[in-house]
Structure 1
């Protein structure tokens, strides 16, 4: 695997982007009125998913070597 490609052709990058956007959409879609524990837990889990997606994306963009 010596070929290289631009970041925007990577399926991994696009999957991470979709994961981040999906988690953020769920996070911002939680209504603040009628706040309950279930909504808080759901929002917290979505925020964690979004952060994990960002970390995965940054790790891939700044990787110095290929996985072998």
Structure 2
């Protein structure tokens, strides 16, 4: 592995949260079908991907150096 990152930046952590969310919600009395859980996972993935892309663009625009070989 290379370096460290925030747990919230980890796809594994997000996948785990999404996987256990229906069971946790069920414990507190909120029922969720498999289709609903799948839909939530797809939306969460799309949102995370979009935010990542926007952060990458922002980082490149804000950068003070060009990209290239030294």
TM-score by length of 1: 0.47
Rg larger in structure: 2
For CA contacts below 8 A with separation 6 or more, give which structure has more relative contact order.
1
Under a length normalisation based on structure 2, what TM-score does the superposition of the two structures give? 0.45
